[in-house]
Amino acid sequence: MGYVKAFLIYLSLLLIGLLFITPIVFMISGSLTPDAGVFAQAGGWDALWSAGVSLDNYRDVFARVDFMGYLFNSLFINGMIVGVGLLVNSLAGYAFARLQWYGRNLLFKLVLAVLIIPLEAIAVPLFYMVSLFGWRDTYWVQILPFIANAFSIYLFYTFFIGMPREMEEAARIDGAGVLRTFYCIIVPNAKPVFASVAVLTFLTQWGAFLWPLMVTSGEDVRPLPLAIATFYSLPPLQWGDIFAFGVMMVTPILVLFLLFQPWFVRGVVTSGIKG
Amino acid sequence: MASVEYRHISKVYTDDTRALEDLNLQVEDGEMMVLVGPSGCGKSTALRLLAGLDPVTEGQVLIDGKPVNESPPQHRDIAMVFQNYALYPHMTVRDNLEFPLRMMKLSRMERTKQVEETAYLLGLSELLQRRPKELSGGQCQRVAMGRALVRKPKVFLMDEPLSNLDAKLRIQIRAEIAALQKRLGVTTLYVTHDQVEAMTLGDRIAVLNGGRLQQVGRPQELYDKPDNTFVASFLGNPGMNIFSARLNSEAAIVDLADGGWQIPLESLLAQKPQMKQYLDRPLMAGLRPEAFSTQITPSAEVVVEAVEPLGHERLVYFTPSDTMSGSGQETLVARLTGLPRERVGESFRVGLDPTRLCFFNKEGEVIA
């Protein structure tokens, strides 16, 4: 009975896994197939394997757009959002979890309230504001609004509140101030939550489309999602190129995820994050 | 080394919990003071206020005569050992020991020297490269002590440092702590709820209950002459028996445990003349379990409720027999040696040593 149950569980997991991996396989296979082949195979199972391996689509991508430029923009913008965000949000989470200061609880409730406001709701006033500051068409306009993140603060808060307080108190008594306690004692013991927040922020921001579309017009500061959009709007519509672009765009996320996977999983478990 | 003083200290937490009430306590230079009391009595709070981990509500904490209320923990030159050790899990034993020295900005050479000296002192030399998760409870405890000792603090604070260890290890480390404290002569405040630890470790003991200091003194002094019924029943295992007493002037006797034992009033008043003012008033008497004996008088007939053999002695729990039935007395306990004869449910005669009696008024404060 035990074996049958295990078999059924594994079978269902396998099927779900296949369901998730199919579009990715389809994308990779399509990126290696000449355009004519992509259309010919579309709609059938043979779309899952390439008709003939060719790197033409990848060459086309590089010929049609400045892929490396867009990639740099995306990496720079996301790197800054993740890097500076980790610093700012972890410090905020720590201040909410551990430090005693006037108005802390009220401010924390406000931060939690911000969690439910989607970007789309504030995009237009935010757009007016950054226009007023003359920030349009810059990297900063794509970075600054996303550094402080209520969800990240909340994740850090829940992790820090669960850490043994005595460890910090010991550090304080041993002679460390608040900041030193934070980066000598707290940060090294909070790698899982840092990894989780980094990966989650990167995942969310990597595909950002609406905000960059609103605030940028020049190719020199635009990220990858806006570049892929040009493939839809500029004829001829070549699916092979779009697939190749997609593969190249998804690769950094996969690398990042695989790199941080052990910590990420631990972080998700310990922070009590749910999908 | 330094002296420590709590001067009219009160502590009220933000949720209005009153943890300490007008605490006045002086700890001498080089002394081992044990703060003892049941859970929630305020003993750990007292330690945290001295460490600077919590702010004082009222009063002053002084180290070496200087008020430190406003100083952050890192400026008080104290060290603390926590109940759960609070070792830094990401650091090796060496790094753990070195951390306070790094904060003092000592040179690498000095740091290495001091770490190795401390490790040698505590038998940690072989473990310097290990991480806390690779250590046993006793070893973690030693590392925590080492981290506190390494920078030679003025005052050493210990918050129930043995409570996570098994019984055997607890006795071993307890002896080590006592020896180390004597050797180094560091002023130490030691918090525990275990009265055996308090009795064996403390130069003096401060007993706390409900945020109030009950009594301070040398262990034997507190054991023999408790100031109130709380201290009497808290110290000792089992604690002091407390039962009713009446100085009956008409019959010229002291009636103990509602007719259980009787002693001549005259002999008591000769010993404790101040008892005269309590003639014919309800009182409470206290007697240590070892002050009962089957060999002495006055004796009384009692019924055995339970017997706990401890090898070299036994604890016999008993209640007043038929002659005293209905008196509402609680179970009393005697620590007896010699051949065991008592059987549960049967009666036997037990006597008490009247010179070891303590008397308390109805508020529970000692009279004599």
DSSP per-residue letters across A170-191: HHHHTT--HHHHIIIIIGGG-H
Report the pLDDT value the prediction gives residue A47, as an integer from 0 to 100: 61
Question: How many angstroms separate the CA atoms of A65 and A71, rounded?
Answer: 11
Asked if B117 and B106 count as a contact pair (C-beta separation under 8 A), the reply is no
What does the block give as tokens for A74?
A: 């995306």
Asked if B150 and B101 count as a contact pair (C-beta separation under 8 A), the reply is yes
Run means of pLDDT, 10 residues per run, chain B, 368 residues: 91 90 94 93 94 94 93 90 91 95 93 92 90 90 90 91 84 86 90 90 94 95 94 91 86 80 83 82 90 85 89 88 53 85 84 89 85
Report the pLDDT value the prediction gives residue B326, as an integer from 0 to 100: 47
Measured between beta carbons, the chain A residues lying within 8 angstroms of B82 are 166, 169-170
Amino acid at B343: R
- pLDDT higher than 60, residue A211: yes
Q: Which of A15, A37, A65, A59 is nearest to A226 (CA)?
A: A65
Report the pLDDT value the prediction gives residue A262, as an integer from 0 to 100: 78
CATH number of B241-360: 2.40.50.140
Q: Give me the residue spans of the domains in chain A.
A: 1-54, 66-271
Report the pLDDT value the prediction gives residue A1, as an integer from 0 to 100: 63
**Does A32 or B222 have the greater pLDDT score?**
B222
Residue contacts between A and B (CB atoms, under 8 Å): 61
Measured between beta carbons, the chain B residues lying within 8 angstroms of A174 are 74, 79, 99-100, 103, 147, 151
- pLDDT higher than 90, residue A71: yes
Question: In chain A, what percentage of residues exceed pLDDT 90?
Answer: 55
Residues of A with CB under 8 A from a CB of B: 164, 166-167, 169-177, 180, 184-185, 188-189
Round to the nearest angstrom and report the end-to-end CA distance of chain A. 31
Report the pLDDT value the prediction gives residue A152, as an integer from 0 to 100: 94
From the list B73, B86, B104, the residue facing A164 with the nearest CB is B86
| Cβ contact A164–B84 (<8 Å) | yes
- Report how far apart, in Å, the C-alpha atoms of B325 and of each of A168, B136, B301, B320, B322 are: 58, 54, 11, 6, 5
Q: Give me the residue spans of the domains in chain B.
A: 4-234, 241-360
Best A102, A174, A183 member to test B by mutation, with max B CBs in 10 Å, is A174
Confidence at A275, pLDDT banded by 50, 70, 90: very low
Please return the burial class of B367, using the count of CB atoms within 10 Å of its CB with bins 0-12, 13-18 and 19+: middle
Mean pLDDT to the nearest integer, A54-76: 90
| Cβ contact A169–B74 (<8 Å) | no
- pLDDT higher than 50, residue A273: no
| Cβ contact A172–B82 (<8 Å) | no
Amino acid at A19: L
For chain A, the average pLDDT equals 87
Residues of B with CB under 8 A from a CB of A: 51-53, 72-74, 78-80, 82-84, 86-90, 99-100, 103-104, 147, 151
Q: Which residues contact B10 (CB under 8 A, 6 or more apart)?
A: B18, B20, B21, B22, B23, B56, B57, B58, B59
Question: How many angstroms separate the CA atoms of B147 and B97, rounded?
Answer: 5
CATH C-level class of B4-234: alpha beta
Report the pLDDT value the prediction gives residue B176, as an integer from 0 to 100: 85
| Cβ contact A173–B78 (<8 Å) | yes
CATH C-level class of A66-271: mainly alpha
| Cβ contact A169–B82 (<8 Å) | yes
3-state DSSP call for residue B76? coil
Amino acid at B106: L
Report the pLDDT value the prediction gives residue B325, as an integer from 0 to 100: 46
From the list A164, A167, A173, the residue facing B80 with the nearest CB is A173
Report the pLDDT value the prediction gives residue A267, as an integer from 0 to 100: 62
Confidence at A64, pLDDT banded by 50, 70, 90: confident
Report the pLDDT value the prediction gives residue A48, as an integer from 0 to 100: 62
Measured between beta carbons, the chain A residues lying within 8 angstroms of B84 are 164, 166
Residue length of chain B: 368
ipTM of the shown complex: 0.81
